[in-house]
Amino acid sequence: MKLLYFAWIRERTGIHEETWPLPDGVTSLRDLVAALAARGPGFAHAFADLKQVRAAVNQETAKLDDPVSEGDEVAFFPPMTGG
């Protein structure tokens, strides 16, 4: 799957964009967040407070319990501050 990180989530993970194999047993965004947070201190820091994390699956805003599958484009970012 394709993973994207924006703003301070990008800074904490140290990655903007990557291809990552969908881990075994991961079926929802919630599972994916848990798997990512276990990758190291930067990732753990990025996903420490899920109230501050928003996500999109295939460029549509998604909720934590929404499903994810191999081939999806999943993005993580803070609440939007445009305008």
CB of 14 to another protein, least distance (A): 15
- In angstroms, what is the minimal distance from the CB of 44 to another protein? 19
Report in angstroms how near the CB of residue 82 gets to another protein at its nearest: 3
| Comparison of 38 and 80: residue with beta carbon closer to another protein | 80
For residue 61, the surrounding DSSP H or E stretch is strand 60-62
Report the distance separating Cα 78 and Cα 27, nearest Å: 22
Which residues contact another protein (rule: CB under 8 A)? 4, 6-8, 56, 59-61, 75, 77-83
